Amino acid sequence: MDLSEKKIDSELKYSGVIVNVTMDHAELCDGSIVMREVVEHPGGVTVLPVDDDGFCYCVGQFRYPFQKVMLEAPAGKLEKGEDHRTCAVRELSEETGFTADKLTYLGPSCTSPGISTEVLHIYLAQGLHAGKSHPDEGEFLSVEKRHIDELVDMVMSGEIDDGKTIIAVLKAKRILDSEK
């Protein structure tokens, strides 16, 4: 069965600093017409830096929509035309100060496929070298060192509820365990 939907038209409803929102009319596989709200997002990266002893470096960051500080893997948005690996190197340095000898691509994550075009590319960073962080203007972070096993426990208990961090931690744990 062909489940695809055909875009008939699209109207820009909002143009923002990071996202645009369109209202589309689409034809379903049964011929009916529906409205689809689409949040157009440039995408981004998530990088979980892990040292030789299994300690990860996450960031605490206040997330305005949720009105709380969340513990997250370092992350950031792609600049127009930027390669996601290049973005991962940049964000790792900006948010933690680290550079890495090895970046392993853990795959993409469609963050909210029902409404958004955002795709986050997830990386594991190993062979870390410390440096000085340099967050973007207006970006305030605390770097926190946690063992991968503690992060897995925090994910499983719901203490970490950020989707990109959950995926990065669980995928990284699988890879780190396979390297033993």
* Residues annotated as catalytic (active site), given as ranges: 137
Distance of alpha carbon 79 from alpha carbon 44, whole angstroms: 8
For the chain, what is the largest distance between any 2 Cα atoms, rounded to a whole number of angstroms? Answer: 57
148, 55 contact by CB (below 8 A) = yes
The packing angle between helices 148-157 and 163-178, to 10°, is 140
CA separation for the pair 180, 175 (Å, rounded): 9
